[in-house]
Structure 1
Amino acid sequence: MAETADRVDLGGSLRALRRRADLSQRELADLAGVPQATLARIESGRSGDVRFRTIERLVRAAGGRVAIGIPGAQASDHSCDRASDLAGEDRVPEVVPVPRVPHDGLRDEAGRRYPAHLDAWEVHGPRDWPGAWWAGWWNLPPQHWPRRLPAAAYELSRERRDRRRWGERIRREVTVRRVTDDGLPGTCRRFVAELPDGRLLGELRAHERNPRLLYGDLIDAGEREIVLDGVLVAGPYRLLGIGRRLVEALTVEMEQAGIRVAHAVADFGGVDLLLACGYRIDGRGHYAMRLDRSWLDPALLSGPAPA
């Protein structure tokens, strides 16, 4: 736990630490051996001078540490070396502030904060509230809703919270780039989505074609088109928006290259992905084709009969 302001927001820091550790007030109080009422008063700002040992026990139980320093002060090289020698380390570790609880500004109907360790969000419509499954399935108008929508919703399941936070971290860390050093011709495009450690999460491939080969002289000689060969995202990382970012990267590349039209053949979830990225169903009889050699007559695979 660290603050750079003149006054430490103790309650906010403890709430942030509880969120990071995914602990309720009762769970943290039990781990630290502190009464829950004491923790509640500290977090609400209603507690006066709190004993240092109480704060230290709460912070350590939440997985943090208490650091004391002089913000903005620059020590001399000699003093830094001396401090490192005393600490038995090569250098003094940097103190990183804990990110604030993102929903700390939300309040329920009684004016209370939502539990810091949960994920809470504002409800603007049925899509924002998991309890409104009926509105999503039956498209009920508001006058027929069986329940009034709450001001906010939150996730109680720790498993789904972990999955949600993991997905948010992946979205923040993943980057999309065009690969230009893999020996592909200049008319081909390859984009990859990867994490900072180089782990490949998704890939898009596309190639240019000359529309005059299809339409003859009806098309301007300078016209170019892109054919989307495929978009692939690793199974655990689907539904995180990675495929959409890959398609959007290709769209930006088309804009920069002056290419106006792109074509694609898609099925199942790929249709929804491309529709979300601005594509439309052409309606001219495109089909996704597949061959499996097990379907063929073995006689066909043996080659032509000798003359």
Structure 2
Amino acid sequence: MTQTSPRIDLGRTIRAMRRRADLSQRELAEKSGVPQATIARIESGRAVDPRFRTIEALVAAVQGRIVMSVPTVNGGREVGGGTEAEPVGHGVVGEGGQKTCGLPAVPHDELRDAVGRRYPAHLDAWPVHEPKDWPGAWWADWYNLPPERWPLPLPEATYERNRGYRDRRRRAERVRREFSVRQVIEPGRSATSWRFVAELPDGELVGELRAHERTLHLAYGGDESVWPRDLVLDGVLVAGEHRRLGVGRGLLDALLRRMAEVRIGTVSGIAEGPGVNFLAACGFRIAAHRPLAMCLALPVSPGPGPPPSGR
């Protein structure tokens, strides 16, 4: 007995491939020559059996390929088979007896607007719970209004049409999800110098932390073994476009884990501006017995001409 291979979910696959290519239905229609109405019917499942040439044109428009495999017989049992839409460089996965393209599914497919329609697949839609979740709530940044005073009703979900903002948002999600932290041990560098880096899988550096151990016995005298080991935080640097993604916190957490491993119980640092809030959020407290960062500014009156020669 021959079992029928499970069919690929064309609607879900086309939506996922369109999102990967960052194309709206209208843009995909222009690139493929397939009417937008046909694309909408395929994605919604209303086109039960679209023509092969139609699917071929849609897949080619997003630089994908269609792979066909012939089933083989192993001991009287059919193995493999079927037709698969596959983007270049990505495999095909099957879950729960369903075949689908090996692309991430559209994350907001379950969201619907007021009339039950899906939000555009190539955009990033998200639910709206309070004004800060909605870009249309321009008034939320300046006024702390109770719900009964909101000038506009909040939608159940929203999305961002600006492509540059979309790209930055997706890039931020990738960095938050994929960055990892490791301690760097460099030949020739003193063992009392600590360095941690945060990087992406492709090796791109997104943050760095440096610290050093203080040798208290040199300052206060006595046997080195009686003084507790102490760390000074030299700096936590995070690339500007990757801030507020948890990179700095990940670097500091790695430092604290390493401190616990080698039984160092104290780390101190000098911060200013946003760095103060960052260290406070990570558990640092102002220590009165530590030196303070201080500055002396001399009065200088800028003159219109060059400085005197000193003659």
TM-score normalised by length of structure 1: 0.75
Instruction: Say whether 1:198 aligns with 2:203.
Output: yes
Alignment of structure 1 residues 125-140 onto 2, 5 Å: 125-140=130-145
Instruction: Say whether 1:272 aligns with 2:247.
Output: no
1:256 to 237, 258, 261: 261
Structure 2 vs 1, CA of residues 94 and 141 (structure 1 numbering), >3 Å: closer, same or farther? closer
Gaps of 5+ in 2: 75-88, 93-101, 301-311
Alignment of structure 1 residues 79-90 onto 2, 5 Å: none
- The equivalent of 1:188 in structure 2 is 193
Q: For residue 205 of structure 1, report the CA deviation from its aligned partner.
A: 0.7
Q: Is the 8 A contact 1:210 1:223 kept in 2?
A: no
- Please state whether the residue corresponding to 1:99 is helix, strand or coil: coil
1:155 to 160, 179, 192: 160
How far apart, in 2, do the equivalents of 1:56 and 1:288 lie? 66
Q: For residue 9 of structure 1, report the CA deviation from its aligned partner.
A: 0.9
How far apart, in 1, do the equivalents of 2:196 and 2:71 lie? 44
How far apart, in 1, do the equivalents of 2:65 and 2:281 lie? 45
TM-score normalised by length of structure 2: 0.74
Identity of matched residues, %: 58
Q: For residue 56 of structure 1, report the CA deviation from its aligned partner.
A: 0.8
Q: For residue 145 of structure 1, report the CA deviation from its aligned partner.
A: 2.5
Q: Is the 8 A contact 2:179 2:198 kept in 1?
A: yes
Which has the larger displacement, 265-274 or 40-49? 265-274
Residue 40 of structure 1 aligns to which amino acid in structure 2? A
- The equivalent of 1:298 in structure 2 is none
Taking only aligned residues, the RMSD between alpha carbons, in angstroms, comes to 3.3
- The equivalent of 1:33 in structure 2 is 33
Write 1 or 2 for the structure with the bigger share of helix: 1
How far apart, in 2, do the equivalents of 1:134 and 1:255 lie? 46
- The equivalent of 2:8 in structure 1 is 8
Gaps of 5+ in 1: 75-92, 296-307
Q: Deviations over 1:19-73 (max 9, x none)?
A: 1111111111122111211111110011121100001111111222211126899
How far apart, in 2, do the equivalents of 1:226 and 1:157 lie? 45
Instruction: Say whether 1:122 aligns with 2:127.
Output: yes
Q: For residue 289 of structure 1, report the CA deviation from its aligned partner.
A: 5.2
Q: For residue 106 of structure 1, report the CA deviation from its aligned partner.
A: 1.5
Q: For residue 258 of structure 1, report the CA deviation from its aligned partner.
A: 3.1
Write 1 or 2 for the structure with the bigger share of strand: 2
Residue 278 of structure 2 aligns to which amino acid in structure 1? L
- Please state whether the residue corresponding to 2:253 is helix, strand or coil: helix
Residue 56 of structure 1 aligns to which amino acid in structure 2? E
- Please state whether the residue corresponding to 1:202 is helix, strand or coil: strand
